[in-house]
Each structure stands twice: as structure tokens, then as C-alpha cells.
Amino acid sequence: MTAGKSDTQTGLRDALRCAWPAMLLAALLLLPFLNTPFTIDDPLYLREAEHVLTDPLHPQAFDVVWSDDLSLRASTILPGGIAVPYLLIPTVLAGFAEWAGHLTQLIFLLAALVATALIALRLGLSQSQARIAAILTASCPAVLGMAGTIMPDIPAMLFVALGMERIIAWRDQRQSQQAFAAACWLSLAVLTRSHTVACLAAAFVFLLDGITPAEVGSSFRRFPARFTPLLLTPLLFLFASWLTADPQPGQENIALAMLRLPGGWHLVARNAIGFLAHWTLVVPLAIPWLVLRARRIHAAVFLAALLAAAFLYVHLRWIAIPMVISSLALADILWVAIQRRDRNRLALWVWLFPAITIVIYVHLPSKYLLPSMPAVAVLLAGLIPEARRGMVGWLFPSVAVGGAVLGVLILLGVRDLAMIQRRAVTDLIEPYTHAGQRVWFAGHWGFQWYAEHAGASPVTLMPPAPRPGDIIVLSQIAPSLFERKWTNREILQRETYPSAGPGRIMDSGANAGFFSTHWGYLPWRWGSGDASRFEVWKVP
């Protein structure tokens, strides 16, 4: 990979010319899902956006029932991500219309496709390679699936891409406004998804003179000011965190709260498995890379990978196969970068690893890999000149079509899950609230959002508690602590909603867990069946 094209050569017009097929593809795939109900963590971000309209500088300064059936400050439940509610203000102003939230996501995704093409051009790839990079991003199943929500992963991918593009421009042209813009975009990324701070490591490699020891040393002797964006980014992040910190006495600021996120070292192995498997199962990196590089990887390496897969299969079963495939691809990318002394390829390789910094978190679904997707696309497109034309002719269309198909299946699963949650509120809660009955609920995700808007209140493990005659409706897709502890109940109704789609995205029995590896490692699983179960209780 080469670098150094001028702003004229890598301008917005060229990037748009390269990205428009990918933009069209993304729009065609996502527009049918504009009315998908809110789901998973969408309600929490919407509550923050609603609060911002009354308290613009403190987006997390309010109490909410979300995890562990406790009423806690939002700044405790969801530290970091303080930029997200401001992005959702148009959705709030549109009356919390689902289409407004999903249209906002689509706009962010379209911008991210242009930014990806811009990075490819900035790094010296041809316009056809930049076009392929944008299409790979648009058809990535993880990207499409998260674009079906209003969670902040698509904006985080955009902000990282814009920040990296400005880093490269600053390295090549050294205009001060480029350094400042890079720091602003990267700090905005960290304020959207906190683990993107690890992208600064990739930015550091981009800014080096080269990757040999002599070149690394010369980078600090010659123009050390090149690293200014890397110093400015955390300062901007800390300032914004201080400015928007929860002002309630005794509350931690966001930066400190991040240090006590729920999780633990016992989760490292499970999350590491997920991190590796995602590059094969839901992010199109490992298999395309190995196919393009197959003739250049030594046979002994392939043999070692087969033996490793066989050994791990005994302990981990099928998940060992995508793990080994991904490990082989990641190792080969690093090998190519070092062998060729390719600073850009090494930086792109480092850009693949921000998600590994959260292996001690409660889970590591593929959404955390989205900020790395521009690097994936540019790495694969960068192999085109050394690949056989016939292989390029079928491989990239196959990857795009296969990714789009899986992405649409995930989107159908997201919509199905979300619609069930909303339908349960219509069927099981609204008849009681319309009759003037006091209704409580236990459950989260989209169920919580629509239940609260129907007039129900969340139950907690602390007062106030439901009283005799009150109704409690429980979502059992993720059983709550309250369900296990509350025994004073009369079960009035059990309702099971079968899946209406062709598959499942959150089903522990099917090992499908697109939104959380707690449910499984597969992003989607063929089949239909009981998607969600609900119970209606009456307090005697």
C-alpha cells in the first residue's frame, strides 16, 4: 500500500463516486426495515436523549430501572457513550417514531461508506478498490444487523473512520487543521463507544515514518509534533466527560465509572472465543483473506492450523474451527505487514483489535468489532492487485452477496424479536392499563420501552412493591431477579409467541446470540419456534 495522495485526488467527490454503489445497496437493504420496533438497548439511549432536552449538559443524570431490577443512575448503568443521546434528538423530536431512529442510522451508515472509500483512496488504492471496500462494508452482516437498531455502533464506526482519514491526511500534508479534526473525530468516537480509544494505537502506527526500529526512532526525532492528535484526543474526551458528568453528589464521573463495569476475568476465555469467531462468522475478514492468500501461505502453516483445530475441537467443539480460521488470517496479515515493512498494513492490522480491550466485560458480541470494519474492507481490497483476476471476479461478489443475505436474515430476526416484545405489551399490558388497573412489568429491551409508554411501571427489588390486586407482566426471554425472588403471585396467563421469521438471533437453545454471546456465538440460526415467553401475575 502506498500513501500520499493530495486532497484534490482524494476529495469528497472521488469518494462519493466510489461509494455510491455501496450506498445504494445499503439503502435498498435497510429501507424495508425503517419501522422495526425499538429493541435491546435502544430504550436506554432514547431515555437519555429525552433527558437531554431538559438537561442538555447532563445526559445521564437521571434514575432508571434497567439491569438487576434496581433503580440506579444512568451514569452508573451505562458509563461512557455520552455523545449518543445527542445523536438521537431528531428521533425524540419526531415523537419517538421508529422510522426516524432507523433513518438516522442509515444516514450515519451512508456517511461511513463514503469515509471508508476516502480512507482507501488516501492510502493509495484505486477507485475500483475503494468501491469494493465500500461494498464490503455495506454488505457486512454485523454492520447491517446493527443498522437495524438505534444503538451507537454505526456512528462509532463513522467517527473512527473520519478520525483515521484525518490522521493519514495530517501525516502526509501536516496541516494543523487536519490534526485538530482528527482529534475531534476520534474523541467523538470514544464518547460514543469507549473501547474505540484503542484505535489510537493504530493511529500511532499510521503516524510513524516506518516500522523498522530505525524508522520508529526517527519518528520521535523528526517532527515529534506529529503525535499531537494522540495527546489531544484523550484530553478532549476527559474534558467532555467532566463537562457532562452526573452532578448528583456522590456520583462518579464517567471516566471513573468505566473502571467498574460489570464483568470479570472469568469471562476472558469466553469473550476471546467470540472475538476470534466473529471474524469468520459475521465479519467478512478471515475466509476472503485466506482465499486470496492461499498460494502464499506455507503448507506447514496450514498443517499446523489443521492440527490446532483438531485439538481445540475436542474441548470446544465446532467453535474451534472459526477460531482457528480467524487466528490464521490475523497472523498472516501481521506477517505480510512485517515482511513487507508496510506501515499502512500494520496500522490496519492494529485497527482490528480495539474490541479485545473489553474481554473482561460481560459479553463480546460482534457489534464491538464494527469500528474496525473500515480496516477490514481496506485490507481485503488492498490484496486485489496481487490476486488472480478470475478469483477477484467471483470472490468479492460472493462475499458481498453472502454477507447481504446473512445481514437481511439478521435484520428479519431483529424485527421479529422486536415486534414480539411490542405485541406482548399490546396483548398483555394495555387491556389492564386501559381498564384503570395498576400494572407492573419485569423485563427489558423493547418490552420495557413499550410497557412504560403503555402506562406500566417497572418492578424493582426495592420499594415501592406491587400491592394486592396489582398485575405483573414478565418477559422471560431473559429471566429477571425479581421473578426468582417474588413469590406472592397468582398466575393468570402464560403466553408464548412463536417466531414469525425464518430464524433466530437470540436463542440460547439454538446457540444464537447476535446481540450477546451469553446466548451463543452464532449471529443467526435457521429455524422457528418459541421466541419469547411471558407470564401475567396477579398479586393476591
What are the pLDDT tens digits along the chain (540 aa)? 654 445 545 588 999 999 999 999 999 999 999 999 999 999 999 999 999 999 999 999 888 888 777 888 888 877 678 899 999 999 999 999 999 999 999 999 999 999 999 999 999 999 999 999 999 999 999 999 999 999 999 999 999 999 999 999 999 999 999 999 999 999 999 999 999 999 999 999 999 999 999 999 999 988 899 999 999 999 999 999 889 888 886 555 444 554 455 556 678 888 999 999 999 999 999 999 999 998 888 777 777 777 777 777 777 788 989 999 999 999 999 999 999 999 999 999 999 999 999 988 889 999 999 999 999 999 999 999 998 888 889 999 999 999 999 999 999 999 999 999 999 999 999 999 999 999 999 988 999 999 999 999 999 888 888 999 999 999 988 767 788 888 888 999 999 988 877 889 998 888 899 999 989 999 999 877 777 899 999 999
Q: Structural domain of residue 296, as residue ranges? A: 12-386
Dist. CA 27–CA 107, nearest whole Å: 9
435 and 382 belong to one structural domain? no
373 and 427 belong to one structural domain? no
29 in Cβ contact with 143 (< 8 Å): no
Q: Which of 371, 386, 401 is the last residue of a domain?
A: 386
Residue 57 is placed in which grid cell? 449538559
218 and 357 belong to one structural domain? yes
User: Does residue 5 lie within any of the structural domains?
Assistant: no
User: Does residue 169 lie within any of the structural domains?
Assistant: yes
Handedness of CA 114, 116, 122, 125 (dihedral sign): negative
Query: Strand pairing partners for 491?
Result: 537
pLDDT of residue 387: 86
**Taking Cα atoms as reference points, which of 183, 192, 501 lies closest to residue 367?**
192
- CA-CA distances (angstroms) from residue 199 to 258, 286, 407, 469, 513? 17, 20, 26, 54, 26
**Taking Cα atoms as reference points, which of 423, 422, 537, 540 lies closest to residue 482?**
537
User: Does residue 410 lie within any of the structural domains?
Assistant: no
User: Does residue 396 lie within any of the structural domains?
Assistant: no
For the chain, what's the residue count? 540
482 and 526 belong to one structural domain? yes
83 in Cβ contact with 160 (< 8 Å): no
pLDDT of residue 19: 97
pTM, entire model: 0.93
278 and 380 belong to one structural domain? yes
pLDDT of residue 195: 94
351 and 475 belong to one structural domain? no
Dist. CA 47–CA 338, nearest whole Å: 47
Residue 511 is placed in which grid cell? 446457540
162 and 230 belong to one structural domain? yes
User: Does residue 2 lie within any of the structural domains?
Assistant: no
95 and 147 belong to one structural domain? yes
**Taking Cα atoms as reference points, which of 45, 105, 10, 522 lies closest to residue 317?**
522
**Taking Cα atoms as reference points, which of 345, 315, 314 lies closest to residue 330?**
345
Residue 465 is placed in which grid cell? 412493591
Instruction: Kindly tell me the burial class for residue 107, based on how many C-beta atoms sit within 10 Å of its own C-beta (0-12, 13-18, 19 or more).
Output: middle
User: Does residue 7 lie within any of the structural domains?
Assistant: no
Dist. CA 2–CA 340, nearest whole Å: 12
- Tally of domains within the chain: 2
Chain centroid to CA 156 = 8
Q: Which of 336, 365, 386 is the last residue of a domain?
A: 386
35: left (phi over 0), alpha (psi -120 to 50) or beta: alpha
Dist. CA 473–CA 429, nearest whole Å: 7
Query: Strand pairing partners for 496?
Result: 533
DSSP code at position 35: T
Q: What are phi and psi of 495, to 5 degrees?
A: -130, 130
Q: Please, what is the end-to-end C-alpha distance for the chain in angstroms?
A: 71
Query: Strand pairing partners for 215?
Result: none
Residue 107 is placed in which grid cell? 444516514
Dist. CA 528–CA 500, nearest whole Å: 7
- The DSSP secondary structure of 148-188, one letter per residue, reads TS-STHHHHHHHHHHHHHHHHHHHHH--HHHHHHHHHHHHH
**Taking Cα atoms as reference points, which of 122, 194, 186, 182 lies closest to residue 152?**
194
Dist. CA 509–CA 493, nearest whole Å: 24
Dist. CA 222–CA 233, nearest whole Å: 22
344 and 276 belong to one structural domain? yes
**Which run of H or of E encompasses 201?**
helix 199-207
285 and 428 belong to one structural domain? no
Dist. CA 107–CA 100, nearest whole Å: 11
441 and 363 belong to one structural domain? no
**Which run of H or of E encompasses 122?**
helix 98-122
327 in Cβ contact with 276 (< 8 Å): yes
User: Does residue 413 lie within any of the structural domains?
Assistant: no
- CA-CA distances (angstroms) from residue 283 to 34, 136, 196, 280, 369? 23, 10, 17, 6, 8
149 in Cβ contact with 45 (< 8 Å): no
- The DSSP secondary structure of 450-494, one letter per residue, reads HHHHTT-EE--SSSS---TT-EEEEE-SS--HHHHH----EEEEE
Q: What is the dihedral of CA 171, 177, 183, 188, to 10 degrees?
A: -130
User: Does residue 398 lie within any of the structural domains?
Assistant: no
Query: Strand pairing partners for 458?
Result: 441
In the block, residue with C-alpha cell 429501507: 31
121 in Cβ contact with 79 (< 8 Å): no
115 and 193 belong to one structural domain? yes
In the block, residue with C-alpha cell 402506562: 455
**Identity at 424, one-letter amino acid code:** A
**Taking Cα atoms as reference points, which of 345, 369, 349 lies closest to residue 357?**
369
